[in-house]
């Protein structure tokens, strides 16, 4: 952030999460606490996506650059890209050289642009989901019911991981997970991921696709299991939740729908997929 301030000749007045994925949701909170700055209760996705340009800010014409990427050694890369896709390309290449561990400050914008382009209430949304996940994990009778009601979600599959193919390639955690139903061993779900879960197929039929969210939860604890934490034999619920409505325009689906990740599939809303 200090590098970005120096380059822009301006002082930051607040920090905000780009996305709500794992540590990326809480990193701005930790940084703001250290710097004595407020945190804005908003983000650019209301979920997480693997690429820098995959934000609603891109659709609103907000540039990701200038941006700064830093590694654990203190190396700093300043990125001034011609567009957000190029910022992603340069960031990913730099991240590989940093040993796949780095932090970034990007999408500098005015308070007015934050108001106009961001999804508001995002951190509060995470907090409320967290409370309900904790209740579900503690065995509270209404735990999962409250969670599903709050996030308008549905458990679309419960199974055991029977196969896992995963590789690191080009700065990505890529792979496929195969689940066998705990109730019917003949029923199989396959989930493809690229850092995030992108497509879920129930016996070969797509039931959930990006930008709707596919989250795997440990059956016993209700803790979310990230793609890098997947392991053979895990028993998981597959939770589907709808994307924010702003992701459902043709322009947004072109940016983050299944075809944007190379799948020959159109977007399938999970309620339609499950009931098909």
| pTM greater than the 0.85 cutoff | yes
pLDDT digits 0-9 by tens, 182-219: 999 999 999 999 989 999 999 999 999 999 999 999 99
The predicted pLDDT at position 172 comes to 75
Q: Average pLDDT for residues 63-85, to the nearest whole number?
A: 96
pLDDT digits (tens, 9 = 90+) for 58-72: 999 999 999 999 999
* Spatial CB neighbours of 241, under 8 Å, sequence gap ≥ 6: 151, 152, 153, 212, 213, 215
* The pLDDT of residue 254 is above 60: yes
- The architecture in CATH of the region 2-120 reads 3-Layer(aba) Sandwich (3.40)
Q: What is the CATH number of domain 152-275?
A: 2.40.390.10
Residue with tokens 């983000």: 43
Rg (CA), the chain: 19
Q: How many of the other CB atoms lie within 10 Å of CB of 74?
A: 6
Q: What is the mean pLDDT of the chain?
A: 93
Cβ proximity of 227 and 193 under 8 Å: yes
Q: What are the sequence ranges of the domains in the chain?
A: 2-120, 152-275
């Amino acid at each position: 952030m200090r590098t970005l301030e120096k380059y822009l000749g301006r002082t930051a007045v607040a920090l905000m999460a780009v996305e709500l994925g794992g540590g990326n949701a809480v990193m701005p909170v930790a940084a703001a606490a250290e710097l004595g700055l407020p945190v804005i209760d908003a983000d650019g996705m209301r979920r997480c996506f693997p690429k820098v340009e995959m934000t609603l800010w891109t659709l609103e014409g907000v540039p990701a650059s200038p941006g700064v990427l830093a590694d654990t050694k203190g190396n700093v890369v300043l990125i001034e890209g011609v567009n957000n896709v190029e910022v992603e390309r340069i960031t990913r290449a730099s991240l590989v050289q940093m040993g796949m561990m780095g932090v970034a400050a990007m999408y500098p914008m005015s308070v007015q642009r934050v108001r106009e382009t961001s999804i508001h209430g995002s951190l509060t949304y995470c907090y409320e989901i967290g409370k309900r996940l904790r209740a579900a994990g503690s065995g509270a009778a209404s735990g999962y019911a409250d969670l599903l009601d709050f996030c308008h979600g549905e458990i679309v599959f419960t199974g055991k991981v029977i196969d896992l193919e995963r590789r690191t390639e080009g700065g990505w955690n890529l792979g496929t997970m195969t689940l066998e139903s705990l109730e019917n061993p003949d029923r199989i779900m396959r989930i493809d991921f690229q850092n995030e879960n992108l497509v879920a197929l129930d016996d070969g039929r797509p039931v959930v696709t990006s930008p709707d969210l596919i989250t795997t939860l440990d059956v016993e604890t209700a803790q979310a299991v990230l793609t890098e934490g997947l392991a053979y034999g895990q028993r998981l619920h597959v939770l589907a939740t709808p994307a924010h409505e702003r992701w459902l325009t043709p322009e947004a689906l072109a940016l983050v729908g299944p075809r944007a990740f190379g799948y020959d599939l159109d977007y399938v809303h999970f309620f339609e997929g499950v009931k098909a």
